[in-house]
């Protein structure tokens, strides 16, 4: 079976995500949406209609299943779909059971759904497998809910998995003194630095570095929050960096509803009672940056200057000016070299189209 995840109907409703890469590349829980479909179905999954036609030999062939890429499946829901039980009247796919399936309509739902998605992914990834032994130097509660992959290092930490699972990815390092309350996942080759305080549900994606106080947030991949400061109810894209002391607010002083910028409607709309920082790929913040409740930044932003940044920061912002495109590429390449990578021609062409 060939499954295509179609983001043509999603548009820019999940901005700043799904702009540089397909919506199926969004990480919520441990896995990206595409990875979830691959793990659950065991089938060949394409992250967009374009990638389907680019990768098949027979250009006249058609997908067996086309499904909206903003849909986050569970194994139980997929089993129902295969049996026809997840179909509503008229043959439409039924997504009304929020315990079995979620659909992303707004970017802040990524952190709102993270607890649910993380638990689903832990069950999916660890089924039928045995965790590495938890080193005895750690203080542990509910060890049966902790899974440590091969090559991971976690010593002299407090691991409390009574409220949710704790997943330590392959070759990840959790340094001494970290205090972790599940649900929590740290991806392959990621680092949680000394003395970090983690409140679930938190995802530290592959190749990320994290520290300080983090609650109900996601770092998607290759990003850094490597120093003290608070990150709460937030989503940080790929190849981002938060300077030392950077902190966000996630609750208004009035305890009222938080409004965030919504690119599709070009207005601020309610995002719930708690919403922190949503940051697009390749964006960075200077040391001691203080983000207001419900701040959204676009892609490729360099955020610095006196006072609070605006609650909406457009793509390619340099302080209060427009980022020069050649400098955008140079700075991205500099940051990627820290993790042994270089900017690719495909990235350059994609960013050039968005910049224009």
Angle at CA of residue 232, ends 226 and 237, nearest 5°:
60
Give the span between the Cα atoms of 94 and 26, in whole angstroms.
22
Give the span between the Cα atoms of 19 and 34, in whole angstroms.
16
Q: Looking at per-residue confidence, does 56 or 345 come out higher?
A: 345
Given CA atoms 69, 72, 78, 82 in this order, what sign does their dihedral have?
negative
**pLDDT given at position 89:** 60
Give the span between the Cα atoms of 229 and 249, in whole angstroms.
11
Convert the pLDDT of each residue in 195-227 to its tens digit: 999 998 999 999 999 999 999 999 999 999 999
| pTM, entire model | 0.95
Beta bridge pairs of residue 3: 45, 65
Overall size of the chain counted in residues: 356
Exposed / middle / buried, residue 15 (Cβ in 10 Å: 0-12, 13-18, 19+): buried
- The model's confidence at residue 93, banded by pLDDT at 50, 70 and 90, is confident
265-291 per-residue burial string, b: 16 or more CB within 10 A, e: under 16: eeeeeebbebbbbbbbbbbbbbeebbb
**pLDDT given at position 86:** 59
Boundaries of every domain in the chain:
2-105, 137-355
**pLDDT given at position 53:** 86
Share of the chain above pLDDT 90, in %: 87
Residues 6+ apart with CB under 8 A from 208: 186, 187, 190, 191, 219, 221, 222, 223, 224, 225
Mean per-residue pLDDT for 237-250?
98
Joined together, the tokens standing for residue 170 give 């392959």
- The model's confidence at residue 38, banded by pLDDT at 50, 70 and 90, is very high
**pLDDT given at position 215:** 98
Convert the pLDDT of each residue in 142-191 to its tens digit: 999 999 999 999 999 999 999 999 999 999 999 999 999 999 999 999 99
Mean per-residue pLDDT for 112-124?
98
Given CA atoms 65, 67, 73, 77 in this order, what sign does their dihedral have?
negative
Mean per-residue pLDDT for 287-305?
98
Domain 137-355 has CATH 2.160.10.10: yes
Convert the pLDDT of each residue in 15-36 to its tens digit: 999 999 999 999 999 999 999 9
Mean per-residue pLDDT for 324-341?
97
**pLDDT given at position 90:** 59
**pLDDT given at position 287:** 97
């Amino acid at each position: 079976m060939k499954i295509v995840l179609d983001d043509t109907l999603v548009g820019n409703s999940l901005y700043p995500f799904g702009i540089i890469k397909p919506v199926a590349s969004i990480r919520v829980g441990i896995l990206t949406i595409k990875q979830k479909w691959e793990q659950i179905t065991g089938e060949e999954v394409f992250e967009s209609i374009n990638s389907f036609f680019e990768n098949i030999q027979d250009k006249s062939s058609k997908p067996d299943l086309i499904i909206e890429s903003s849909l986050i499946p569970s194994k139980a829901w997929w089993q129902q779909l295969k049996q026809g039980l997840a179909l509503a009247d008229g043959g439409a796919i039924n997504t009304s059971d929020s315990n079995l399936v979620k659909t992303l309509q707004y970017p802040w739902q990524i952190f709102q759904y993270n607890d649910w998605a993380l638990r689903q992914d832990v069950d999916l990834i660890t089924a039928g497998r045995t965790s590495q032994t938890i080193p005895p130097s750690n203080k542990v509660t509910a060890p049966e809910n902790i899974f440590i992959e091969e090559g991971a290092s976690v010593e002299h930490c407090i691991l409390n998995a009574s409220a949710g699972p704790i997943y330590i990815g392959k070759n990840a390092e959790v340094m001494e003194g970290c205090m972790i309350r599940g649900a929590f996942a740290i991806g392959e080759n990621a680092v949680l630095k000394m003395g970090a305080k983690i409140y679930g549900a938190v995802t530290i994606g592959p190749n990320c570095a994290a520290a300080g106080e983090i609650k109900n947030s996601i770092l998607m991949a290759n990003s850094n929050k490597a120093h003290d400061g608070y990150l709460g109810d937030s989503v940080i894209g790929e190849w981002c960096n938060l300077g030392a002391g950077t902190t966000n607010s996630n609750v208004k002083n009035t305890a009222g509803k938080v409004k965030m910028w919504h690119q599709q409607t070009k207005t601020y709309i309610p995002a719930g009672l708690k919403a922190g920082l949503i940051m697009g790929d390749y964006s960075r913040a200077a040391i001691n940056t203080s983000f207001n409740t419900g701040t959204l930044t676009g892609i490729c932003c360099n955020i610095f200057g006196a006072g609070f940044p605006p609650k909406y920061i457009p793509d390619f912002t340099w302080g209060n000016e427009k980022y020069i495109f050649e400098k955008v590429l140079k700075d991205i390449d500099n940051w990627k070299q820290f993790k042994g990578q270089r900017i690719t021609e495909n990235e350059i062409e994609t960013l050039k189209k968005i910049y224009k």
